[in-house]
Every structure is written in C-alpha cells, then in structure tokens.
Structure 1
Amino acid sequence: MILPVPLTVREIHLAERMDDPHCDLTELNRTYAQFGAVNGLVAGWRQVYRQVLRPRLSASRPNTLLDIGCGGGDVPRALARWAARDGFTLRITAIDADARAVAFAQDQPPVSGLHFRQAMSGDLMREGQRFDLVTSNHLLHHLTASELSALLQDCEGLCSDLVVHSDIQRSPLAYLGFRAGVAPLFRGSFIGPDGLLSIRRSFTAAELRELAPPDWTVRTVIPFRNLLMYEASARA
C-alpha cells in the first residue's frame, strides 16, 4: 500500500470535518458515539490507567481528575468506571471547548462523580482550580506550537500530581494501519477521514521533546502513541 503523503512534517493546516461548526450534526453525534470503540482499539487508556494513573490514586481520600478536550466523553467515563471498580473515589471534571461535544456527553447516562462542562483550561486556571491528575486524549494534534505551549503552562498550574496527554504518534505505519484496519470499521461518521487527517497533523516523539518544557517527558507506547507527561510532585 502506497502512502498518499510523505508524513515528513505536521500538516497543521488540514481541517478535520468534525471541527467545522457547520458540519452535519447527525454524523458528528455518530462520531462521538463511535469514539469509545475506536479509542478502545487504538488509544490504550486501559494500559495508561493501570500503569500510570492507578498507582497515583489514594484509597483514603477522594481523588480529582481533569480531562481536557473530552469530546463525547468516552475516556473520562472509562476512567470513572475503572477507578470505581478498583475501590477508589474519583471525581472527574471533563471539559471541551465545543458545545456540541458537551451536549452529547451530557445526554449520555450519568456516571457517579463525573461532570461535563463547556470550558477551556485557561478558564479553570482563572477560577483557581486544582486537580490531582490532568489528562487528555487526542488533543495535542489539534494545536499549534504556541497553543501547545499555552496548554502545558495551564496544566502545570492546574495539576498537583501528574499530567498525561495521550496522542497519536505520526508515522507511515500508523497511517497505513489506520486506513486499512480501523477506518473501514466506522461508517457514516467522521472517524475514517478525520482519523487519517489526525495522523497527518500529529507530532512525532522527537517533535514533542523539542517543544516540551524542561520538566515534561515524552514516552512512546506501542502502537504509535505518545504520552506527554508532567510530574508536579517531582518538581516540588
């Protein structure tokens, strides 16, 4: 299979269809509804929870988590379920700048301890909020270098323990694998075309390391994932 594009640089100018304020709402909501399945295939949050987040949770007090750019809300819902199953109290605030995403998430069956709101990280910074943990899924590739810098600065102020941003790692194999093995499974939504654009917009691990502030680290995870992480407790 031949690549249609070289993938040598980020194609940040490409616009994903779901980000269009005038896109078809039925297709958009179907996209949100399919996020749980596609993230289950490619995002690896069960592993991140077990290896990275769960060891940080306290059994003796409530824990707090902020999920930024929550989309349809499947990742914070999964984190809430896993934490409850393991006997932890986890209070999650999940935010998104897009009112359509928040409306979809709020329309799903409620999960104890999980709250959705339309907001950006800067809004919570101005409110003086703090969380034990901060996460995001597939957010970084939407950002320019300057937007990434602003987000990371906000996260340092919002987090008292650990930040984990999980995103796609741009590579030819990721592109070909998604096009052949994942995109055909999701019809009638933006998953296929937007997923391919997301890979073209995403960072390599080396690019993230170059842009990340000194206290941030980049971990690569199979298959084709970057974890951009900040440990506030270590810095303190």
Structure 2
Amino acid sequence: MASPGFLDRGFLLERDETASELMDDPGGDVEALERTYARFRLVNAVVSNQRAVYRRWVRPCLSRTRTRRVLDIGTGGADLPRALLRWAHADGLRLEVTAIDPDPRALDWALRQPAEPGLVLRRVSSSELAAAGERFDVVTSNHVLHHLEGRAFGALLADSERLAGDGGVAVHGDIERTRLGYAAFALGTLPFERNLLAGSYIRADGLTSIRRSHTAAELAAALPPGWRVRRGFPSRLEVIWGDADA
C-alpha cells in the first residue's frame, strides 16, 4: 500500500531508529520545507487533535483576569500556538504562548507570517529557558519525542519539569506507532499527494514519523518517575507530568 513491507507480519513491530525525515536535513529544499510548514495547520488539525489539547490541558488553567503562559517546544511553523491563542481569545481568556525552535528555518518562516497577539517566537532551547529560571503554566510539544534519543529525550523531560515548576503541567504529544495509524495516514493523504500536499514533505515525512514513533509500552518503560503515558485520538500518545488528572 504505502510501503512494500506493509503486509509483512513484522512491519512496525519495532521502531525504525535509523529512518530520517526529509525536513530534518539542513541542506534540504527550502521551498518544500516552507510548503510543509504552511500545510501543517491543515494536517495537524486532523492528526494532532489540537482542539483536544486546548480543551484538556490549556483551557482549564486560563483566566479572564490573569495572563497564563504556555511554552510550545519545537514549534515548527507555530500552527499549534496560533490555534491555542485563537481559541483562548474566542473564549474571552488571557493567554501568552512562547513558541521555540532551534531550527532557524522554522523561526524565519514563522516570523514572516501575520502577527498573532500573544505569540512570542524565540530561537532558544528548552534548557536555556530552564537555566534562565523561566516558568510556564503549561509546557507542551507536538511530534517532537520521536525525533529524540537517549540523553536528548531525558533532557527534554527534565527541562519540562523545571519549566512547569510547582503547579504546572507538561504534556508532550506524539504519534502512536500502529499498523492502523500507518494505513490511515497513507490512505488519507494519498488523494492529496499531487494537489494540496504537492511539493511538501508532509506525506513522506508523516509515514517516516510513524515508523520512528513509540508504542505506549515503549514510552512508559522509558519515562522517569512522575511521568505517565495517556492514549489519545487518533493514534495519539501524551506523555504527562504535573498536577493534571490521571
């Protein structure tokens, strides 16, 4: 279907840690990368269930009188922060979202988009913010965990604990590696490969992302004390720390 090995019984039983996404290549096609950022808003609205992230993790901490702070790590084109800010504004709630990414190409593209009140874009790492004593009510990321291995994975979680502090919540969302999820993404994006997604990395990198992603059991085994895994829809995993309902 989308891969010659898809029908093999062992397909996706193990993470493909050697697979690399096209958009991670620093020498890649800049136009294709920017088309990818532009399409993230549409694709992530479906595959990342952003509205659920807002309802479950962000909206409960918001106020009409006090501005709350959210940190989005590895923001890419900043489509999630923009969505969170729009929904908070529609609900009459005060929110500021700091969106960070170490890739200058991502921040360059995001900074060229129309301004969004409450959006702060910074090229800085989570460790630098933690070292500076920054604190946020919610620390989040989307589709970042499957890019990380070993020390980088542990460092992100440690930074998140420091950045959320007492009373804060950290929620890192990612894809769950399943054959059903792979098939659904492969079939769902196929009709748009030559039109809406043409000239972008969305389809190819999406399939690679699923191959690189974890199962719930794999993530649970890798988490330090205080963290837990929650399943979401569709084929989503959330790694959670803090004073949120289990």
For Structure 1 versus Structure 2, the TM-score category normalised by the shorter chain is over 0.9
2:120 maps to amino acid: H
1:206 corresponds in structure 2 to 217
- Please say if residues 61 and 68 of structure 2, whose CA atoms lie closer than 8 Å, have aligned partners that are also in contact: no
Give the deviation of 1:208 after TM superposition: 0.9
2:122 corresponds in structure 1 to 117
Secondary structure of the residue aligned to 1:131 is coil
Give the deviation of 1:182 after TM superposition: 2.1
1:175-194 map, 5 Å: 175-185=182-192, 186-194=197-205
Whole-Å separation in 1 of the counterparts to 2:190 and 2:223: 31
2:186 maps to amino acid: R
Give the deviation of 1:41 after TM superposition: 1.5
- Please say if residues 174 and 237 of structure 2, whose CA atoms lie closer than 8 Å, have aligned partners that are also in contact: yes
1:220 corresponds in structure 2 to 231
Would you say 1:197 and 2:208 are equivalent positions?
yes
Segments of 4+ moved more than 3 angstroms: none
Q: C-alpha deviations, 1:78-102, integer Å up to 9, x for none?
A: 0011111111111111000100000
2:143 corresponds in structure 1 to 138
1:180 maps to amino acid: L
- Structure 2: state its 5+ residue gaps: none
1:61-72 map, 5 Å: 61-72=66-77
2:17 corresponds in structure 1 to 12
Instruction: Tell me the TM-score normalised to structure 2 length.
Output: 0.91
Would you say 1:98 and 2:103 are equivalent positions?
yes
Give the deviation of 1:52 after TM superposition: 2.6
Whole-Å separation in 2 of the counterparts to 1:184 and 1:146: 39
Whole-Å separation in 2 of the counterparts to 1:182 and 1:216: 33
Equivalent in 174, 182, 197 of residue 167 of structure 1: 174
- Please say if residues 159 and 232 of structure 1, whose CA atoms lie closer than 8 Å, have aligned partners that are also in contact: no
Q: C-alpha deviations, 1:118-176, integer Å up to 9, x for none?
A: 11111111211111111101111101132111100000000131111111000111111
- Please say if residues 183 and 191 of structure 1, whose CA atoms lie closer than 8 Å, have aligned partners that are also in contact: no
Q: Which moves more between the two structures, 92-101 or 6-15?
A: 6-15
Would you say 1:149 and 2:154 are equivalent positions?
yes
**What is the root-mean-square deviation in Å for CA atoms of aligned residues?**
1.5
Whole-Å separation in 1 of the counterparts to 2:52 and 2:97: 19
Whole-Å separation in 1 of the counterparts to 2:150 and 2:12: 18
% identical aligned pairs: 47
- Please say if residues 177 and 235 of structure 2, whose CA atoms lie closer than 8 Å, have aligned partners that are also in contact: yes
Secondary structure of the residue aligned to 2:171 is strand
Instruction: Tell me the TM-score normalised to structure 1 length.
Output: 0.95
Equivalent in 9, 19, 26 of residue 21 of structure 1: 26
- Structure 1: state its 5+ residue gaps: none
